[in-house]
């Protein structure tokens, strides 16, 4: 019983460190390196606790309801933290270390209003270059422009509504140049990723190109590609 209680308290402490690793950085309590260090060791501890809790459940299964319930809580909390850490590790290993994704690799949409907001960001607003383009072609061949039969201004209106619904920060709308710029702030670590949408009139209607780039970090663990794919899919659904 005492062992189960101590393990439960320790699990609560590790879970708190796991969560605070990101929020502490977002709230400017510590630097990003410190946040990642806390995250890494909390993940290691969670995996260890998970293994210990499984063994403990077997050996203490006849120790009473309270001890077993403590261990079940430990198993759930440590399993959630371990699963989250292993999931993101797998994601990071399965995608190339790039952070700039676009539907147009020959002439990527350019940030204009966003340049000022990215002035102190480690990743510059300019496109990352041919090496990134080659990595994207291999990893994300499904990222392509969206072709719609609707007129340009109507498509832009629907894109703005999608951005608002997603609670992104709408930075700029330029209807003459057919461009929208916005920022999404991610939960936990509070990383900011910027997007630019370019709308071009065609004989059939409107072509939509989208670019999404992280302000910080070498790898985006596939977040930017998924953002583009989901946004364009939702935009197409709204107009069909």
Per-residue pLDDT of the chain (240 residues; tens, 9 = 90+): 688 889 999 999 999 999 999 999 999 999 999 999 999 999 999 999 999 999 988 777 767 778 889 899 999 999 999 999 999 899 889 999 999 999 999 999 999 999 999 999 999 999 989 999 999 999 999 999 999 999 999 999 999 999 999 999 999 999 999 999 999 999 999 999 999 999 999 999 999 999 999 999 999 999 999 999 999 999 999 998
Strand blocks (E) in 103-174: 146-148, 169-174
C-alpha distances (whole Å) from 128 to each of 77, 122, 217, 229 are 40, 12, 13, 20
Alpha carbon distance 202, 165 (integer Å): 27
Which pLDDT does position 65 carry in this prediction? 74
For the chain, how are helix, strand and coil distributed in percent, rounded to 5?
55, 15, 30
Which pLDDT does position 64 carry in this prediction? 75
Which pLDDT does position 206 carry in this prediction? 98
C-alpha distances (whole Å) from 228 to each of 57, 106, 174, 180, 197 are 44, 17, 20, 14, 10
Q: Show me where the domains of the chain are located.
A: 2-94, 100-238
Which pLDDT does position 209 carry in this prediction? 98
Strand blocks (E) in 141-225: 146-148, 169-174, 179-185, 192-201, 206-214
Question: Whose structure tokens read 């461009």?
Answer: 179
C-alpha distances (whole Å) from 156 to each of 39, 159, 180, 212 are 40, 5, 8, 17
Give the CA-trace dihedral at 47, 48, 52, 53, to 10 degrees: -40
Which pLDDT does position 230 carry in this prediction? 98
Which pLDDT does position 67 carry in this prediction? 81
Residue 135, number of CB atoms within 10 A of its CB: 17
Backbone angles phi, psi at 181, to 5 degrees: -125, 140
User: For residue 56, what are its two tokens?
Assistant: 């403990």
The whole-model pTM stands at: 0.88
Residues 6+ apart with CB under 8 A from 154: 239
The widest CA-to-CA distance across the chain, in whole angstroms, is 75
Which pLDDT does position 2 carry in this prediction? 84
* 100-238: in CATH 3.30.56.10: no
Distance, CA of 77 to chain centre: 22
* Selection from 239, 196, 181 nearest residue 103 by Cα: 196
């Amino acid at each position: 019983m005492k062992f189960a209680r101590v393990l439960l308290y320790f699990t609560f402490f590790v879970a708190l460190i796991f969560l605070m690793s990101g929020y502490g950085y977002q709230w400017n309590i510590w630097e990003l390196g410190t946040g990642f260090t806390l995250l890494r060791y909390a993940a290691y501890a969670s995996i260890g606790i998970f293994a210990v809790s499984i063994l403990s459940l077997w050996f203490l299964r006849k120790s009473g309801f309270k001890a077993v319930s403590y261990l079940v809580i430990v198993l759930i909390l440590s399993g959630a933290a371990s699963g989250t850490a292993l999931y993101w590790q797998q994601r990071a290993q399965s995608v190339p270390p790039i952070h700039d994704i676009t539907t147009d690799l020959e002439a990527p949409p350019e940030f204009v209003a966003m340049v000022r907001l990215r002035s102190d960001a480690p990743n510059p607003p300019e496109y990352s270059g041919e090496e990134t383009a080659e990595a994207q072609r291999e990893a994300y061949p499904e990222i392509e422009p969206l072709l719609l039969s609707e007129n340009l201004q109507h498509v832009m209106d629907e894109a703005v509504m999608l951005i608002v619904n997603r609670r992104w920060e709408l930075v700029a709308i330029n209807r003459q140049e057919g461009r929208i710029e916005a920022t999404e702030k991610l939960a936990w670590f509070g990383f900011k990723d910027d997007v630019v949408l370019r709308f071009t009139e065609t004989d059939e209607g409107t072509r939509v190109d989208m670019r999404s780039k992280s302000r910080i970090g070498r790898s985006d663990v596939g977040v930017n590609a998924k953002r583009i794919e989901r946004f364009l899919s939702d935009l197409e659904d709204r107009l069909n």
